């Protein structure tokens, strides 16, 4: 076995990193996940995720966790309403009978990020995840790596895997290739206790999702199991807009003032997103890795998820790509079909980059289409063609 007597370090405890840790442990590997959060409960885990049969769900099946997933996912949360800026519903999946189920490619069940993370954490051996490990520096040490963290702790590893997201500190060790700006910036936020703070939107969402498209702008709202709504706006801006705007995105009042101007003519219902002082937003310029990126394989270093192939969220592939990366990388490392670790990594990276390039091209086309005139008609036709 290639991994015998090898200590594997995964930097990043998101779905991709945790899925990889589970799959490697199933094959007897010694693996540690280093996560910057102080503990498993310190940070809210964002919105909902739809898992796809050929990727996210395939990884959970291989990890022996599909039955546990079925206990934690949210039936009906995948139901979508498409609206225009006046909140007029033009497509309503709540009116459609639910015929898809597990094992069908068209079924994409939703789960909140928090429960998915808990599911994966609970599947790991005790002590696998080391918390409060914000990576500060990585240096070669012998045939492996030495990791130094901001709290002064250190660790060593024979194989290092970067699952540390868009701002990966592992990626520069492998390649200088950087992402390009997509042309769209997202403003993301959460409305807590939406039944109280955003009652009209709470009813409109019906426990599922809303996609509102108009005026070359997007607004996506998703219900969570804890009674909150997560949302993100999408607008074409210059790359430095968020930095140069002077907006304090932690201030609901300042973001509301911006929203009223940027989304002028949109129905007042959308302003409920900013009605509560507890609503805090963040701005996220959207980036994408070059479609033709490549690098030579290393014998003890690789990447997965956004660290490898960052792209905007408009095709819903991010978490699914990361979990499929984990599945394919674990198979390459543990299958016994390769002569050494470098050959296994090379095979994984070649297929991962090709797969990601195809999806990134589709995602960039989707991002452009959703922020162009006629986007609502485009999306209605897209859903109609998918039936």
Q: Long-range CB contacts (< 8 A, 24+ apart) of 347-351?
A: 348/302, 349/295, 349/297, 349/302
Residue 38, annotated ligand binder? no
> Please, which residues have CB within 8 angstroms of residue 288's CB and are 6 or more apart in sequence?
179, 180, 182, 310, 311, 312, 360, 363, 364
Give the Cα separation of 140 and 192 in Å (integer): 45
DSSP 319-334: HHHHHHHHHHHHHHHH
Give the Cα separation of 114 and 92 in Å (integer): 27
User: Count of alpha carbons within 13 Å of 56, Cβ hemisphere only?
Assistant: 24
Give the Cα separation of 144 and 163 in Å (integer): 17
Give the Cα separation of 204 and 181 in Å (integer): 33
Q: How far does Cα 356 stand from its chain's mean position?
A: 14
Residue 306, annotated ligand binder? yes
Cβ(164)–Cβ(310) under 8 Å? no
Handedness of CA 43, 308, 147, 63 (dihedral sign): positive
Q: How far does Cα 20 stand from its chain's mean position?
A: 15
Map tokens 């409060």 to a residue.
Answer: 132
Give the Cα separation of 28 and 299 in Å (integer): 20
> Please, which residues have CB within 8 angstroms of residue 290's CB and are 6 or more apart in sequence?
177, 179, 180
Q: Determine the 3-state secondary structure of 43 from DSSP.
A: coil
Residue 43, annotated ligand binder? yes
Residue 53, annotated ligand binder? no
Residues making up the binding site for FAD: 50, 113, 306
Residues making up the binding site: 43, 50, 113, 306
Residues making up the binding site for NADPH: 43
């Amino acid at each position: 076995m290639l991994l015998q007597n090898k200590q594997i370090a995964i930097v990043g405890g998101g779905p991709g990193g945790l899925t990889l840790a589970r799959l490697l442990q199933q094959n007897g590997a010694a693996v540690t996940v280093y996560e910057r959060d102080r503990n498993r409960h310190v940070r809210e885990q964002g919105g909902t995720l739809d898992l796809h049969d050929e990727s996210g769900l395939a990884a959970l099946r291989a990890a022996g966790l599909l039955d546990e997933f079925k206990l934690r996912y949210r039936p009906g949360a995948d139901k979508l309403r498409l609206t225009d800026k006046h909140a007029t519903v033009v497509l309503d999946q709540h009116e459609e009978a639910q015929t898809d189920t597990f094992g069908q490619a068209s079924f994409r069940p939703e789960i909140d990020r928090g429960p998915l993370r808990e599911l994966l954490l609970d599947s790991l051996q005790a002590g696998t995840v080391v918390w409060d490990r914000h990576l500060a520096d990585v240096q070669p040490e012998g045939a492996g790596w030495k990791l130094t963290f901001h709290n002064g702790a250190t660790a060593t590893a024979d194989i290092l895997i970067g699952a540390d997201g868009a701002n990966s500190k592992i990626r520069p060790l492998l390649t200088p290739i950087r992402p390009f700006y997509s042309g769209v910036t997202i403003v993301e936020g959460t409305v807590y206790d939406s039944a109280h703070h955003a009652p009209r939107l709470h009813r409109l969402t019906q426990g599922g999702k809303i996609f509102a498209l108009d005026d070359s702008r997007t607004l996506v709202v998703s219900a969570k199991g804890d009674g909150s709504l997560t949302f993100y706006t999408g607008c074409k801006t210059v790359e430095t807009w968020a930095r140069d705007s002077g907006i304090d995105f932690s201030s609901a009042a300042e973001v509301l003032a911006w929203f009223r101007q940027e989304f002028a003519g949109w129905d007042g219902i959308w302003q409920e997103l900013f009605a509560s002082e507890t609503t805090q937003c963040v701005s996220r310029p959207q980036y994408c890795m070059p479609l033709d990126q490549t690098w030579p394989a290393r014998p003890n270093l690789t990447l997965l998820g956004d660290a490898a192939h960052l792209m905007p969220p408009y095709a819903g592939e991010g978490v699914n790509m990361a979990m499929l990366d984990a599945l394919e990388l674990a198979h390459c490392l543990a299958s016994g079909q390769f002569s050494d670790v470098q050959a296994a990594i090379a095979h994984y990276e070649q297929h991962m980059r090709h797969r990601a390039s195809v999806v990134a091209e589709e995602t960039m086309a989707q991002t452009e289409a959703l922020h162009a005139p006629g986007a609502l008609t485009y999306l209605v036709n897209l859903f109609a063609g998918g039936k």
